[in-house]
Amino acid sequence: MDIVVRNLSKRYGNFQAIDDVSFSIPGGQLVALLGPSGSGKSTILRAIAGLETPDSGSIELVGEDATNLPTQRRGIGFVFQHFALFRHMTVRQNVAFGLEIQKLPKTEIKERVDELLDLVQLTAFAERFPLQLSGGQRQRVALARALAPKPRVLLLDEPFGALDSKVREELRLWLRRLHDESHVTSLFVTHDQQEAFEVCDQVVVLNKGKIEQAGPPQELYENPASPFVTEFLGQVNILRPETILGMDLDDEKPLPVPIPGSNSGTIYVRPHDLEICRTRGDLPGWPALIRRLTPLGWLARVELTLPDGTSVHVQITQATSRELGLESGQEVYVRPRDLKFFDHTTEESGVVNYVI
């Protein structure tokens, strides 16, 4: 394991920023720390970099105990949100800076800088200054500068947070390709679920300084371990037990026993796990009224009201919407493909998946 964090805790006054956090990252992987503001993700990253001193716990980097090592001896490459480039230096000089501090031979520095400029596709911009570059280009320079000294691990703290959505999308794909070529073990902080899913091999979901769940992105999405993970990872409809009781049930495929009549559980269904039909059919579901139909490119968002007044939204393709002839004010039938139920009566929330 290239990064091992054990029982890490950090408090600022009365605020517990990190609370007994432990995780490990295998060599060569790109892993995301994902969570809302204040969840502790940046504090963990800064502790690994040596920019914050934890109250307790340990940090191991590539087999070496780095808990008390100064930042400059940890072999860390760090990329910040706001580029942090030297404005008076050219792109080439910025990338070469860390190598010159190491007092490497000039020929070796030139070879390494040329290699990195080619890797980040900025060879033609080598003699430009940061203010002559776009935001996306500046962040690529920052990444090249962080990679120049061949760090043991690369830490990225919301590196695309200051960029617009189109540039963010392009850089996400570029970062994944860059990582696949460089193979440097990387830890990536973000609050953007789509960003984490597109870029990373593993995701660590944080909430209030604790780890809620960790694993491959799709595994977390399909099998969330808690209500927080369910709600944080993508859009979701929240249903009341009374709504489930109002479903037209098929006697041959009953719902799990805990769902009907439970007063201490939460029931979730993703928008893409709801199916709209023009007629009832044989599967359990509800009659519903279309309140609004919103085109979203090749997708469509359908907002519905169920018989008990519950509002839900469904995500379908535009092709399906046209095929069904959907429009506002129409009465349809909606049925779930998958329901997730969390029982709060036990000390640890348990989840029951019901797939129709």
Domain boundary assignment for the chain? 3-224, 235-355
Confidence of residue 183 (pLDDT cuts 50, 70, 90): confident
Do the domains spanning 3-224 and 235-355 agree at the CATH topology level?
no
Q: Is the pLDDT of residue 264 over 80?
A: no
Q: What is the mean pLDDT of residues 210-232?
A: 93
Q: What is the pLDDT of residue 261?
A: 43
- Asked whether the whole model's pTM tops 0.95, one would answer no
Q: What is the pLDDT of residue 13?
A: 93
Q: What is the pLDDT of residue 246?
A: 66
Q: Which residue has the tokens 């073990």?
A: 185
pLDDT per position as a tens digit, 45-84: 999 999 999 999 999 999 999 999 999 889 898 888 776 7
To the nearest 10°, report the CA torsion of 117, 122, 126, 131: -130
| CATH class held by domain 3-224 | alpha beta
Q: Which two structure tokens, joined as six digits, stand for 299?
A: 């997708």
Q: Out of 3.20.20.70, 2.40.50.140, 3.40.50.620, 3.30.1330.40, which CATH number does the structure's domain 235-355 have?
A: 2.40.50.140
10 Å Cβ neighbour count for 119? 17
Q: What phi and psi values does residue 355 have, to the nearest 5 degrees?
A: -105, 125
To the nearest 10°, report the CA torsion of 233, 237, 243, 246: -110
